[in-house]
Amino acid sequence: MYLHWPRTVFFLVTQSLCIATIGLAAWALADGVHKEHEASKSGLKLDISDIVGAGGAVTAAAGLSSLLCLGMLGYTLFHPRRKEETLFSVRVKEALFGVVLIVLFATLVPATVFAATRGGKVTAPGVPQAVVDGLVKASGMKLAYNTQRPVLSYVIVGWIAFLSTLISLVLVSLSARHVLKHGYSYDRKGSTTDEEPRRSSTVVEKEGTTIGSRLHEREESGSESAGRVEATV
């Protein structure tokens, strides 16, 4: 099958990257919850709701991409190769990957912006914010998200998963449109797919037509000879 192994490899790679993104986002969430708990012990409140929400959205998008690649992997490995591709099936595959890519992009962009430009906010009831900021600065507490390894990890791996999903879309589109246009090609081992039966049937039809035309010509020539003999008699 056209691009069979490249598609299989990239489906596996994309699925692995998406699972890694989900795991790293869960790590970032657990780390944030731990820091909130530690801050509450001192009577402080740590607000990291923006990056937590962005991480949840990235997790959902990565989950969709992982499920899609799992479905396409099963389709590639177990789908009967002799079934014809149609324009509708090609467009469905491209549309599914397109939707997942849009969702991934729409969730990764805010997460990237938050990770690069924002940080957690510490407040304390009844204490002026200037005093709280001074205490945080004096304690050396790092609130910027770009200093948090879990946050940076899931954002970076998420973008790699996005690129892998994009490559998977290109491979799926090329393979489906190739089959739609040319049919399935020969396997390397010499076994044939849909294209060979199609060619064989065409050859048989041509040979049958040729034999039939020759028989018809012989019948006509025989009739003419018989007519000449009768005329001579």
Do 211 and 106 reside in the same domain of the chain? no
Do 29 and 77 reside in the same domain of the chain? yes
Length of the chain (residues): 233
Strands (E), the chain: 45-47, 121-123
For residue 23, the Cα-to-chain-centroid distance in whole angstroms is 19
Query: Residue 189 corresponds to which tokens in the numbers above?
Result: 């081992």
Do 121 and 139 reside in the same domain of the chain? yes
Do 120 and 39 reside in the same domain of the chain? yes
Candidate from 32-46, 106-120, 175-189 with smallest mean pLDDT: 175-189
Tally the domains of the chain.
Answer: 2
Do 200 and 155 reside in the same domain of the chain? no
Measured distance CA(106)–CA(118) in Å, rounded: 18
Measured distance CA(19)–CA(3) in Å, rounded: 24
42-93: pLDDT as tens digits: 788 889 999 999 999 999 999 999 999 888 888 777 765 555 556 777 788 8
- Closest by CA position to 33, among listed 46, 24, 44, 42: 46
Show Cβ contacts of residue 135 under 8 Å, excluding neighbours closer than 6 positions. none
Do 146 and 164 reside in the same domain of the chain? yes
Do 147 and 214 reside in the same domain of the chain? no
Structural domain including 226 reads 194-233
Q: DSSP class of residue 127?
A: S
Higher pLDDT, 73 or 213: 73
The mean predicted confidence, pLDDT, of the chain is 78
Cβ atoms 173, 165 nearer than 8 A: no
Query: Residue 149 corresponds to which tokens in the numbers above?
Result: 């390894």
